[in-house]
Chain A
């Protein structure tokens, strides 16, 4: 059989049309590009339960599809979110809450008090701030479908702050069915009552996570502020792309294939600033605060003089410059609570104001009886801040006469070894570097690194009874001024016994296409309500 040229050309055209048809058809059913926001965040979304994990990526997911009883506004004051009315008894022991009208889960079920109480109890089993509250809770009675109570055994000043907290583990409200999952197991369903609905069909694990606007969501009437106020979805779809390569993500942003990039690499910011189609903005003024955790269980940091030596040893500016380069995006900070929150002060920070003093550090190590044994620093080489800070701290320790050793590995290995309580010779450690959010640092109760309850606490295991008593006092305080006063006492005490050393604070910008606007600046998370594309 012979085929003419005409037949061949006609056949090829038909084949090409048939091959392209599915793409055309699909394009007609998905929201348009102008109504779709494509974003790349700092990691991949692996866990979908914001009550179960402290991972911030899960917090972002949680804010999209769930809602909370209260939400912190931009002044860090908890505002009612799912709650319509609330009141507290004269003896300050009984809090009564009534839910707003029109709250529905994505499966159409109304949100009821039973869902709320189950969710709050599950959250209380996982979260440090919630656990601190629930030690004082006598009961959580349900009055009717929309009304419930939290009844305390003793007064507690942070009930609403806890219910509206910004930091993970987020106090999101799930269906009772999901909330009754064992707190040690993850909830794998994604049914909330928030402004977006998780699109399971279009999402692909490890690749992209798709959220569609929830047309049935009833936002509050107030303007959006923090994670409070009206959460109005102004795009039809949000797609979170998982893009591991920073260079590729920057290229995708420049080409317009994505609209937002949470963590543009510092060394490429100049390039992005020069592009008129791209805008940089700092959404999270509090950023992160670096910390040098010291192991209290073994020498030399079992001695207070050795820990005090670290305050004189560290030069924050050098570390921050090495990692972030541009001083626009970092600051040195001597406050235990970070330097952008409500609890900051300069109490007992003469060591910080005087600057690095290696001779003084050497003297303090000698007073501590340091005997020349190796001081092991866990160096996470795959994370720039941790890697560079470890190198500098090791160098300064050597200058102070300390036999510093770097144990290089990736962060995953550091996370395993930092849990080891044995001496260094048996696989333990003396120092590891990490960071916490500026928002977290500002909260003596919610932030696990502020605990000082010894081996029951967080890695490093600092112990100070006065610190723990002051934390309790802070939680019981009933006014902001009272909390600030207690925070000053906490700091005064902390820089005497030294739970850890601080490495500075940084707040790098996010990058977005110039036609995107409406991002609400909040710490730790990226909310997508209120965002629109021109």
Chain B
């Protein structure tokens, strides 16, 4: 197991190095000039060129890449072209809202989705099953921002129950923290719920048709333990797999959700950076997101061993 973990971590480093090179080239070769954006529309070419030189943007591409890569190896993701603040500091300032949103969404989505999936499989073919499946299709089809706007209209403007936008850190109090996360978590989590619910239902249906489930029922085991103890655990591998894959959906969705609900997270940071060509921020955040995704998939793989004792690394 330890050797497996070490091998995967080394692979993570390799993946991140490839991502780093790819994103660096993509950014620097695509059109757009951060120097021109910084100095404003009425600046002259001389002023723009001076800023480019000052920022090192007219150095050879290879030199710029090596300079950045050496910094990354030291834990320094560079300095924001616009705000002159270290990228690490900016990400650190923004990580709490993103983690809060991702965590609450994940907990909410997994709890609801797995429950719905189990119920749909238990009541397969009935109106309960059909309602769950229709809701899944609708949830997956409606874009995050549309759901967001509808939730804001209903719960914030019409009913006045919840805030429209913003984020309150946990240090400001648990209740206000939760109030600011309810609507974004629902908006972001809906597609995730749909995906997990459908996979849970399918995996449960496979398992519920197995002989050992029939044996358990014949022995008089109640429905609850049959579903939750015998069936769900055995259906766990594909469910956990799709939860892990869905983290990519979550990362992408976080970007949109943070914009719609004005949450000052890492997603907003990178969206703003893209429109302004703030290369160090885009590079740094992409690198971190890719690392997170790879680590999540490693954790998913490791969880298989916990779910299925037959799996050993």
Please give the residue numbers on chain A whose beta carbons come within 8 Å of chain B beta carbons, in ascending order. 16, 19-24, 26, 44, 46-47, 52-55, 58, 126, 128, 168, 184-186, 188, 204-208, 241-245, 247-248, 251-252, 254-255, 257, 382, 409-410, 412-413, 415-417, 419, 434, 436, 440, 447-449, 457-459
Contacts and interface: CB of A to CB of B under 8 A. Distances in A.
B211 to A, nearest CB: 41
Interface string B70-83: 00000000000011
A254 B277 CA distance: 33
B156 interface: yes
B38 A257 contact: no
B239 interface: no
Contact of B264 (A185, A204, A449): A204
A272 B39 CA distance: 34
A417 B38 contact: no
A251 B152 contact: yes
Interface stretch (B18-26, B240-248, B267-275, B297-305): B267-275
A4 to B, nearest CB: 24
In order of increasing CB-CB distance, the 9 nearest A-B pairs are A54-B40, A23-B173, A413-B31, A19-B174, A207-B264, A412-B32, A46-B82, A416-B33, A20-B173
B171 interface: yes
Interface string B152-172: 110011001001111010011
B145 to A, nearest CB: 8
A206 B264 contact: yes
Interface string B37-49: 1111111110110
Contacts of A436: 42
Nearest to A56: B40
A168 B165 CA distance: 32
B264 A54 contact: no
Nearest to B82: A46
Contact of A412 (B37, B40, B85, B94): B37
A409 B42 CA distance: 20
Given A184-B54, A247-B149, A415 B32 contact: yes
Contacts of B41: 54, 415, 434
B245 to A, nearest CB: 28
Given A53-B38, A255-B160, A412-B32, 9 more contacts: A54-B39, A54-B41, A185-B54, A206-B90, A206-B269, A412-B275, A415-B32, A415-B33, A448-B44
Contacts of A168: 40, 42
Contacts of B165: 243, 248, 251-252, 257
A204 B262 contact: no
A53 B275 CA distance: 18
B93 interface: yes
Contacts of A248: 152, 164-165, 259-262
A126 B30 CA distance: 29
Contacts of A188: 84
Contacts of A19: 173-175
A46 B83 contact: yes
A26 B163 CA distance: 19
A210 B259 CA distance: 20
B13 to A, nearest CB: 30
Contacts of B54: 184-185
A136 to B, nearest CB: 20
Nearest to A26: B172
B175 A20 contact: yes
Contact of B82 (A23, A47, A447): A47
Contacts of A54: 39-43
Given A23-B172, A251-B152, A204 B163 contact: no
Given A24-B173, A412-B31, A184 B36 contact: no
Contact of B36 (A206, A415, A458): A415
A169 to B, nearest CB: 8
Contacts of B94: 206
Nearest to A458: B44
A251 B262 CA distance: 11
B119 interface: no
A46 B156 CA distance: 30
Contacts of A440: 42
A184 B164 contact: no
Contacts of B157: 251, 254-255
A205 B36 contact: no
23 contacts: A19-B173, A24-B173, A54-B39, A54-B40, A55-B40, A126-B47, A168-B42, A185-B54, A205-B85, A206-B264, A206-B272, A244-B272, A245-B262, A248-B260, A410-B275, A419-B45, A434-B41, A436-B42, A440-B42, A448-B44, A449-B42, A458-B42, A459-B45
B176 interface: yes
A20 B164 CA distance: 21
B50 interface: yes
Nearest to B168: A23
Contacts of B205: none
Contacts of B85: 205
A524 B222 CA distance: 72
Most buried by B among A23, A184, A206, A382: A206
Nearest to A182: B54
A367 B269 CA distance: 52
B290 interface: no
A188 B38 CA distance: 14
Given A44-B272, A245-B262, A419 B84 contact: no
A416 B27 CA distance: 14
Contacts of B261: 248
Interface in B119-175: 149, 152-153, 156-157, 160, 163-166, 168, 171-175
A46 B152 contact: no
B276 interface: yes
Contacts of A434: 41
Contacts of A24: 173
Contacts of A126: 47
Contact of A252 (B37, B43, B262): B262
A448 B42 contact: yes
Contact of A206 (B37, B47, B160, B268): B268
Given A255-B164, A257-B163, A415-B32, A245 B259 contact: yes
Nearest to A54: B40
Contact of B156 (A22, A206, A251): A251
A204 B263 CA distance: 12
A515 to B, nearest CB: 17
Contacts of A412: 31-33, 36-37, 275-277
Nearest to B54: A184
Nearest to B273: A206
B51 interface: yes
A205 B37 contact: no
A413 B32 contact: yes
Contacts of B272: 44, 206, 242, 244
Given A413-B32, A416-B36, A241 B262 contact: yes
A447 B43 CA distance: 10
A47 B51 CA distance: 13
A205 B149 contact: no
Nearest to A18: B174
A24 B38 CA distance: 40
A20 B174 contact: yes
A417 B160 CA distance: 47
Contacts of A415: 32-33, 36-37, 41
A251 B40 contact: no
B69 to A, nearest CB: 25
